[in-house]
Structure 1
Amino acid sequence: MNGGDVGAGVVGGGEVSGVGPPPSPLDWKFSQVFGERAAGEEVQEVDIISAIEFDKTGDHLATGDRGGRVVLFERTDTKDHGIGRRDMERMDYPISRHPEFRYKTEFQSHEPEFDYLKSLEIEEKINKIRWCQTANSALFLLSTNDKTIKFWKVQEKKVKKIADMNMDPSKTPGNNGSGSSSSVPPSPKPYVVNGGYPDKLPNSLNNESFPPGGISSLRLPVVTSNETSLVARCRRVYAHAHDYHINSISNNSDGETFISADDLRINLWNLEISNQSFNIVDVKPQNMEDLTEVITSAEFHPSHCNTLAYSSSKGSIRLIDLRQSALCDSHAKLFEEQEAPGSRSFFTEIIASISDIKFAKDGRHILSRDYMTLKLWDINMDSGPVATFQVHEYLRPKLCDLYENDSIFDKFECCLSGDGQRVATGSYSNLFRVFGCAPGSTEATTLEASKNPMRRQVQTPSRPSRSLSSITRVVRRGSESPGVDSNGNSFDFTTKLLHLAWHPSENSIACAAANSLYMYYA
């Protein structure tokens, strides 16, 4: 593809081609919901979901919330008949089931802290979760709040239950408060350590202790069952490496390293080493008054361990190569869209800020989300995006109101389907949108996070989300209120769908509306 094909779409698998008709739009259906609130029920701030992530297999899903908790879900529909999905596909077996998940476990990942040197409160809110490679049936994941990253291991532990002890059950401690007593008849026998008898005893005692035929009540302890419980253990804590709020973490394909990014720096870590990291990007100017942009998101390439991309508040994406130099302040490629002449306004820079980027599974395309649009970029073409999707263009006349109530600084995430054919992102009124990005596709589906996804009506408002960095924060003014535009599109700034994730291999989306996790399939 050359620079003249800016308007083209993208086909999954890394090929940009107009051959063949685009796939037909998907028919989305409600699958399940976790944590659904009743009508009018007030949502607690700590229960609002702040991160969602599928693992690479799609068999596990993790969510993080503002209370610092991580909740894990596991897939159940592939285990129903004792046969895996891949085996069924090999057998050409018709699969009528859709992905179903169940609650697996949860643990407290982060606690609220206080930085005494800076007199700064550090929230426990989980900003990002990333799955790591599994080993020996144990699950590993990284979670981070504003300042500290933690490496967790979640594993099933078997607890042995002992029964048939050589005790009278009716007289054991804890049973109606009775004292303990041996089932052996009481006698003036000398005991030794471990509860046995001396090897040599007087004949009278031997006769009394071991009558002919032995003692019927003397039993050896027996293991009757192995109870399984899930245990989450923090393996490592990566702390004190960021002066500003961490907005991204991303695993490298080498399985050994990961990056963490804040507003001004990106650090490279080894999973096994928690007390040192390497600063690979530093955009902090010598004089902070000269600061013009901040880092908003960063992600490793899915297969090239030397390549990563990061986005900025100016709407640009930089691709960097770790092989070029130890400090990667100079980028290998820069992706940014040129402004149309005469289109500049007070809000231009604010809405151009990229809140999230994701590499496609093929590694050739990058999806970015700014305030108004989704853009799909080909990393081999830096003249402009190969596709642009309008998310909520009807809000453009309301930018002044959105600025007044800080909604214009909301950070919406984006995601791609595993085959690269579709992209998705959230909006207000708990709506999210799915777009087809194959050449010629006109697919643009709007869904609501509810049991009836096609209903598209405003839900009970929840408390507004606030996740601004210290650099881009402005003073809150005015109130947030729902409204309707001239086309009848409803918008409620207090209910926003910021976080969502696409299953890595199937058309299934998990999204968060306040404290509820909704799942859909097509």
Structure 2
Amino acid sequence: MNGGDAATSQGSGPPPPLEWRFSQVFGERTAGEEVQEVDIISAIEFNKSGDHLATGDRGGRVVLFERTDAKDHGGSRRDLERADYAVKHPEFRYKTEFQSHEPEFDYLKSLEIEEKINKIRWCQPANGALFLLSTNDKTIKFWKVQEKKIKKVCDMNVDPSKAVGNGCLTSSSSPSQSVANGLYADGTHNYLSNDFSFPPGGFPSLHLPVTSQEASIVARCRRVYTHAHDYHINSISNSSDGETFISADDLRVNLWNLGISNQSFNIVDVKPANMEDLTEVITSAEFHPIHCNVLAYSSSKGSIRLIDLRQSALCDTHSKLFEEPEAPGSRSFFTEIIASISDIKFSKDGRYILSRDYMTLKLWDINMDSGPVATYQVHEHLRPKLCDLYENDSIFDKFECCLSGDGSRVATGSYSNLFRVFGVAPGITEATTLEASKNPMRRQVQTPSRPSRSLSSITRVVRRGSESPGSDGNGNSFDFTTKLLHLAWHPTENSVACAAANSLYMYYA
């Protein structure tokens, strides 16, 4: 999305669509295996370098993966032997896991607090250690994960034929010789006392443990940030200053200092004096990736507000409001429900905001608040089925979205474990549907879109697929019980990690 990138792409012609391939899967289910509720993945996040990946699940666990392939090497030898792995791709391995949250009970409100991890955010690493924030509905925790070298006894220089009992030795040739307290006693010298001086000529055999240093990964909870939210926490986001972060619930956004866990500062409060006057709630909040004084939050009415912490300590007034005018005559019972924004993300340079509502992805230029610069239809074929989706509560599903590191593509999930990738940079017109499986192209559909206008153009671009109602582009019926809610794009490469129930799938292009 940078001007230089756009000029390059325009000068050399539109790049070909990305060809996505399966890379890895963790936690793969066998045929007919029933998935436990606690194992379903509820959060995914790459760290800033892309060398580590964290997932959280409904059981309150955080699982960490680390990259293993060398930067200048195209994957493992086994992969390179296969022709379809000729393209370099990142490869990860399981690193460690820890229990981040436990189920709790709020006795004052008679309310059960789930252990489910809602969000994970990486913090700046230091001294070889990894730091991350994880949150459930009420409590945020700050974790430090590092390798500790622990000395362990791996061997004893003991003759096994002479070892007895608890490790003391006895001589088979002389019953009068025995060992007590680890010292020998013989007829000439008595060393059963606390005198640890060596006998003349030394011991016949000095038995010592042989130790080795083993690296063990240890996760420690450094701080717990609690008692600051009356409603469920839906977002946490780090500031670019490396010292502060925000947490958001339905009605408030709080600002924290990483080093202070017993107090926070309320910077946004949309709670009306009378709760009957409540018309919208906060659904997601995100810090600007570069400017630590700027953040954005979205609402259930489909609007995004940009606020500047330099303007006022309590940011009840926004500096910019992004919302799309409602088309006349289009209002229905479901209009407000499907307009609710479930997730927002800044582009890496902070120029654009990507938002996901129930039916679409929208790309906003923060310098233009008249409307989105582009709109991408994710599953428009479901519009005739909104009644059914409302009856089974699927219409309230909260899908996440993500941008590629260079800002040229965006992605989000759908039902039947499908996710969609759209080209957004000038000259990139792809709209690809992939399935979370070992064969992602099984239901892959290339939907050519008319050429995109420049992102700075006021004319809005709408991408529509060719799917028929109730099915995907290949005529496959949709399964509303399987949904791909969580996914993340590698910060520097065309690689996507996404969660299908308890399985973590990774793809590259």
Match in the other structure for 2:436: 449
Alpha carbons 1:416, 1:502 under 8 Å: kept: yes
User: How far off is 1:184 after superposition?
Assistant: 2.9
5 Å-filtered alignment, 1:130-149, equals 130-149=121-140
Question: Conserved in 2, the CA contact under 8 Å of 1:183 and 1:218?
Answer: no
1:62 corresponds to: 54
Count how many residue pairs are aligned between Structure 1 and Structure 2. 463
5 Å-filtered alignment, 1:310-389, equals: 310-389=297-376
Q: CA contact under 8 A between 1:49 and 1:512: conserved in structure 2?
A: yes
Judging changes above 3 Å, is the alpha-carbon distance between structure 1 residues 37 and 166 closer, same or farther for their aligned structure 2 residues?
closer
- Which of residues 8, 11, 23 is equivalent to 1:31? 23
Aligned AA (2:145): V
The amino acid that maps onto 2:89 is H
**Corresponding position of 1:282:** 269
- Within-5 A mapping of 1:488-499: 488-499=475-486
- Give the whole-Å Cα distance in 1 for the aligned partners of 2:417 and 2:74: 37
How far the C-alpha of 1:22 sits from its partner, in A, is 3.3
User: CA 1:190–1:57 in structure 2 vs 1: closer, same or farther (change >3 Å)?
Assistant: same
Q: Is the 8 A contact 1:172 1:180 kept in 2?
A: no
Q: Counterpart of 1:273 in structure 2: which amino acid?
A: I
In the alignment, what sits opposite 1:257?
244
* TM-score with structure 2 setting the length: 0.86
Contact residue 14 and residue 365 of structure 1 kept, 8 A? no
1:420 match: 407
**Change in CA separation of 1:62 and 1:254 when aligned onto 2, cut-off 3 Å:** same
Verify: 1:128 aligned to 2:119, yes or no: yes
Structure 2 Cα separation of the partners of residues 423 and 164 of structure 1: 55
Kept in 1, the 8 Å contact 2:73–2:88? The answer is: no
In structure 2, the CA distance between the partners of 1:189 and 1:44, relative to structure 1 (3 Å rule), is: same
Find out whether 1:210 has 2:202 as its counterpart.
Answer: no
Q: In structure 2, do the counterparts of structure 1 residues 165 and 37 end up closer, same or farther at CA, with 3 Å as the change threshold? A: closer
Instruction: Give how far 1:36 is off.
Output: 0.5
- Contact 1:69 / 1:108 at 8 angstroms: preserved in 2? yes
Distance 2:305 2:398 in 1: 19
1:454 positional shift: 1.2
Partner of 1:160: 151
Taking the aligned partners of 1:82 and 1:174, their CA distance within structure 2 comes to 52
How far, CA to CA, are the matches of 2:328 and 2:432 in structure 1?
31
Local SS of the residue matching 2:15: coil
Separation of aligned partners in 2, 1:139 and 1:133 = 8
Q: Contact conserved, 1:376 with 1:385, CA < 8 A, in 2?
A: yes
In structure 1, the residue matched to 2:14 is 22
Structure 2 CA distance for partners of 1:369 and 1:82, relative to 1, 3 Å: closer
- For residue 14 of structure 1, report the CA deviation from its aligned partner: 8.8
Does the 8 Å contact 1:161/1:225 carry over to 2?
yes
2-side partners of 1:70 and 1:140: how far apart? 12
CA deviations over 1:163-193 (Å, ceiling 9, x no partner):
6768776546556999975363445725555
Q: How does 1:66-81 map to 2 (within 5 A)?
A: 66-78=58-70
Please report how far the alpha carbon of residue 24 of structure 1 lies from its aligned counterpart in structure 2 after TM superposition. 1.8
Query: Do the aligned partners of 2:252 and 2:269 also contact (CA within 8 Å) in 1?
Result: yes
- Is 1:42 paired with 2:31? no
Q: How far does the alpha carbon of each residue in 1:253-310 deviate from its partner, in whole angstroms, 9 at most, with x for none?
A: 0000000000000000000000000000000001110000000000000010000000
C-alpha distance in 2, partners of 1:172/1:409? 68
SS of equivalent residue, structure 1 residue 395:
helix
Match of 1:98 in 2: 89
Shift of the alpha carbon at 1:16? Answer: 7.0
Alignment of 1:110 onto 2:97 = no
Name the residue aligned to 1:390.
377
The equivalent residue for 1:204 is none
Report the more deviating stretch, 159-168 or 67-76: 159-168
Runs of 5+ consecutive residues of structure 1 not aligned to the other structure: 1-10, 84-94, 198-208, 458-481
Deviation of 1:102 after TM superposition, in Å, equals 0.3
What secondary structure does 1:99 align onto?
A: coil
Paired residues of 2:183 and 2:191 also in contact (CA < 8 A):
no
Q: Is the 8 A contact 1:361 1:419 kept in 2?
A: yes
Offset of residue 440 of structure 1:
4.0
Deviations 1:410-436 (A, max 9, x none): 000000000000000000000000000
Identify if the C-alpha distance between structure 1 residues 12 and 447 changes in structure 2 by more than 3 Å, giving closer, same or farther: farther
- Aligned-pair CA distance for 1:312: 0.2
User: Residues 382 and 470 of structure 2 are in contact (CA less than 8 Å); yes or no, is this contact kept in structure 1?
Assistant: no
Tell me, in whole angstroms, the C-alpha distance in 2 between the residues paired with 1:171 and 1:345. 84
Contact 1:22/1:438 (<8 A) preserved? no
Aligned to 2:190: 189
Return the offset for 1:493.
0.6
Matches within 5 A, 1:241-256: 241-256=228-243
User: 1:403 matched to which residue of 2?
Assistant: 390
State the secondary structure of the residue aligned to 1:279. Answer: strand
- C-alpha distance 162-304 of structure 1, shift in aligned 2 (>3 A): same
Counterpart amino acid of residue 203 in structure 2: I
| 1:267 and 2:258 are equivalent in the alignment | no
**Counterpart residue identity of residue 301, structure 1:** H
Which of 426, 432, 438 is equivalent to 2:419?
Answer: 432
Q: Deviations over 1:87-117 (max 9, x none)?
A: xxxxxxxx95310000000000000000000
Paired residue secondary structure (2:184) = coil
What 5-or-longer segments of structure 2 have no aligned partner?
A: 76-85, 171-177, 445-468
Q: Could you give the per-residue CA deviations for residues 356-404 of structure 1, whole angstroms, max 9, x where no partner exists?
A: 0000001100000000000000000101111110000000000010001
1:491 alignment partner, SS class: coil
1:364 and 1:129 mapped to 2: Cα distance? 23
d(CA) in 1 for partners of 2:250, 2:487: 22
- CA distances 1:216-260 after superposition (whole Å, capped 9, x unpaired): 4125x4653101100000000000000000000000000000000
Partner Cα distance (1:485, 1:364) in 2: 33
Identity, % of aligned pairs? Answer: 82
Q: Give the Å deviation of 1:501.
A: 0.1
Give the root-mean-square deviation of aligned CA atoms.
2.7
Contact 2:185–2:192 under 8 Å retained in 1: no
Structure-2 change in CA distance of 1:81 and 1:350 (3 Å): closer
Change in Cα spacing, 1:394 to 1:174, as seen in structure 2 (3 Å) is: farther
